[in-house]
A = this chain, B = another copy of it.
Amino acid sequence: MIRFEHVGLRYGIGPEVLSDINFTLAPGSFHFLTGPSGAGKTSLMNLMYLGRLPTRGLVTMFGQNINKMKREDMVAIRQRIGVVFQDFRLLNHMSTFDNVALPLRIVGKPEKEIQSNVSELLEWVGLGEHMNVLPNTMSGGQQQRIAIARAVVTRPRLLLADEPTGNLDDEIGERLLSLFEQLNRMGTTLVIATHNQMLMDKFPHPRLILSKGILTIEESKFNLRKKLEGLF
């Protein structure tokens, strides 16, 4: 699904934010991405949703080499990826409903299907009453939920979520994580960047740990505990 080989990224003439990143994510996998503030989590995600091209190294997405890809093919790949941005990036001039419907409209889904899908999803994230409201009149947590709804509405093959629970209380946070789990069970590959230790501890998913431009993979303690339990 995703394969990074010796990938490096620098912004302009700055230092390398990412240097020699190597990992492979299997289809249907679920990973947390963590690391200190400024370590490059958002930058790594940027590479994964084709927001930027790496300054060096090889990125393979959906089995295709990004560096050799034509512009048109990138469009097709982007349509299969859902992204929750750290800063939401909602369109403030259109209603909550239209924001969530936008990715469906871009791919030309029929309006009828859009109506029912979007409404249902918004109910689920607790924004059923705010469908016709503009995002900038909503609270931080509500906006974050719109952003999440928009990312999952297309049932993307790959979902990238950057700090999706930073503005949510633990209850809603867990509820959304369970939505992610559900998507995962239906085949979506997930990468979730987060600082929230407690949240990670609750789920048995491996962690990509980013630090000083290098990525290491760590099995979840949850899993370790299970394994240990199995041992004895």
Contacts and interface: CB of A to CB of B under 8 A. Distances in A.
Interface of A: 11, 36-42, 86-87, 137-142, 145, 162-163, 166-172, 195, 197-198
A86 B197 contact: no
Contacts of A137: 11
Contacts of A163: 140, 166-167
A167 B140 CA distance: 13
B139 A42 contact: yes
Contact of A38 (B11, B39, B139): B139
Contact of A195 (B87, B162, B169, B197): B169
Copies per assembly:
2
A139 B40 CA distance: 8
B140 A42 contact: yes
Which of A141, A162, A170 has the most chain B CB atoms inside 10 A of its CB?
Answer: A141
A82 to B, nearest CB: 19
Contacts of A41: 139
A168 B162 CA distance: 13
A144 to B, nearest CB: 8
A40 B139 CA distance: 8
Contacts of A172: 36-37
A187 B23 CA distance: 51
Nearest to A139: B38
A37 B169 contact: yes
Nearest to A34: B169
A163 to B, nearest CB: 6
16 contacts: A36-B172, A37-B139, A37-B145, A37-B168, A37-B172, A38-B141, A41-B139, A42-B139, A86-B140, A86-B167, A163-B167, A166-B166, A166-B167, A168-B195, A169-B195, A169-B197
Given A11-B137, A36-B171, A140-B162, 9 more contacts: A37-B139, A37-B167, A41-B139, A140-B166, A166-B166, A166-B167, A168-B195, A170-B195, A170-B197
Which of A39, A140, A169 has the most chain B CB atoms inside 10 A of its CB?
Answer: A140
A89 to B, nearest CB: 12
A38 B143 CA distance: 10
Given A139-B42, A140-B42, A169 B86 contact: no
